Structure 1
Amino acid sequence: MTTRRRLRHSIVGRVALGALLLSLVAAAVLFAVAYGTVSAVATKGLQRAVDTDLAGLADIAATGGAADLTARIADRLAMTPGDSRQSHYLLIDAAGRKIAGDLTDWPASLSADRSDAGYLALPDGTRLYARATRLSPNLALVVGRDDRPERALLDRLTISFALASLVVVLTVSLLTWRNARTLSDRIDRIGAALRTGDSAAMELLVEDAGQDELAEVTRRSGVALRRMQALAVSYRQVSDHVAHEIRTPLAHLDRRLLDLRESADGRTVDRARQDIADIVRLLESLLDIAASEAQRDDPSGMTELDIAGIARELAELYDDSMEDAGLSLETNIGAPVPMRGDAMQLRRMLTNLLDNAVKYVPPGGLIRLSVQEGPTIIIEDDGPGIPVDRRQTIFDRFVRGNAGTNGHGHGLGLTLARAIAERHGLTMMLDDAPRGCRFRIAPGLVS
């Protein structure tokens, strides 16, 4: 399989293609943002110029009348603007007859009574931004300016962006393809070493001279494969030795039993030989089990701990913060309560429940923490409690106990606390209480 075909059908090739597509999308998005921004700025500039021109002509009409306005429009049409931007005008009377200007027809999309504004297209294809207004009951005026400079700027922006994007895409493609080929070659070397178990292939991995992370992975892979090969050879040797050392005496024993069979009870000897065959099969099974167990991951077991001691330490830590918040904390923590668990997670569970109480109980309130045998953990308060219609979903994600809170938190504290409790074989539930909340954690509860 050629390198090009291999990369096209591999994860590395798809990553390279994804990087290329991402660069194209990024270039398109940047172009759209830049084009939209420049176009918006150009439109605002045209709008200001048209509105300024229109305001000046409105003042002339107010002071000099239609005759003076007609003369001024003629003067402006006769001037050649320095920026090659041509202004366009149309002045009509109450009957819609043209009085002055270079535009022939009143644009249907613009209403003088509403002072509408927008882009127009002239018969020769010129596009201009125009605004219409009514100067008096007998006069209506349209003032427009073409957007040739703005269109030229946008055209230059488009060409520049296209060229820059092409350079960026080509550069990204080249670098990505080069790195992809390097990664693909290294993965191929690792795959070849795994498939063949060849010592020379493993040495090539170990001797990778690169300085990046992939080279480090390649070298470590070579070392690991070489170590696995050595372990496999050692395991095979040990297995052969064990099998040989046990099978040899068993073979001698079997031979002696055959000799004994001539002068003894044949059924007893047959049973003895069957026992020997059972020992051999047992030995082979034990070797298979040992090999399988050697490949298992180490279990993330829990440790023996005292949940009462953890609760007592947290209560001492919360004492000052409770006092600062104007709250009282009462504890009922007796003798040590041993259990098997994850100390960090259990601290997180209790912390979430205490934080929940501190968050909702107003100053002057009381919070109680109780830990007894079982273990049974109770955290209760005399705060506002949880509305009845929210109690069924209080442990669900993104659900807060009181809709009238200040919005702190994401409604995940109780969800996490219950998940930790269930991981330890415990169940958390919300008990009925005459006032406030009462959370109970204990084994064997039905929520």
Structure 2
Amino acid sequence: MRNALNTLFGRLFGVLLLAIVLAHALAFFWFHHYDPPPPPPKATFVEQPDGTMRPLPKRPRPWFGGPVVPLTFQFFSLIIAAWYGAKLLSRPIQRLSEAAERLSLDLDSPPLDESGPREAQQAASTFNLMQKRIREQVGQRARMLGAVSHDLRTPLSRLKLRLEQIEDAKLQGQMRQDLNDMIGMLDATLSYLHEQRTSESRHWLDVQALVESISENAQDQGSNVQCAGTCAPLQVQPMALRSCLNNLIDNALRYAGSARVELEDSREALTIRVIDHGPGIAADKREAVFEPFYRLEGSRNRNSGGVGLGMTIAKDAVERLGGRLSLEETPGGGLTAVMWLPRA
């Protein structure tokens, strides 16, 4: 019996049953103990000064008499019971939704509390088991890829040493470039896996100061990076935001030679635009560049092309902050990366 009551159905049914019983008990008590006024006599007349006979007026019934009070109580008690019942139904779903949202942002988020009705406990237990298995699968994948990437460094390093024995300078240069590209891909892969594994807490950050610092560092290295606009501090993951900005600015510098960072603040969100006037990207390929290791044909140049992880890392960083990253065409030609970060 106790287990049956500790269910969502049992609690909801008990609340509604209690409200109905109390409402009807009050109605029975009211009609049983309330003493209505006696009915007026059938023929009660009073003589008027002019000698005529006029019937006496009927005594009015009090406002609280009859069914008004018990029906009003029934009405409000059922409304309260319905509200509390809806609260019981929606609370486990709301908790599950909030836990799923936390999980989408951070795989290491705390597990869901396994309390409440039996159905809620079962749902929370299943959700926690799913979260555990997802963490294990992601961790296993990261360990496998990390191990493969790490173990490949040894034979690649030996190949670089053996290149010195090749007498053909042209062939030696080509092979050295291929090996450098492979090592660069391994480094980028390890960096990407590290970004996915890292769980960083949120802190209040002066984003404007961060953008200005990144721009000044790039200018000190001879790059043309400008910034404009102001914004209030924002609660973010500092390393994730810095990584995203660095990747977007490096991408603009690689293909356009210059970049401009614009800040647009509002009560709802902070919008950061990284603008360049390079060759741009066709509209039908802008979403594809966020895929890991995807590179456009025009970027497959040994001197300028990356390994295809910069935009992927940037998008993952923005999504961990609860924001969005999209690509637009710059007026006059070029590419604009638009980063939208919510303040809520």
TM bucket normalised to smaller: 0.3 to 0.5
Compute the TM-score of the two structures, normalised by the length of structure 1.
0.33
Compute the TM-score of the two structures, normalised by the length of structure 2.
0.41
Structure whose alpha-carbon radius of gyration is higher = 1
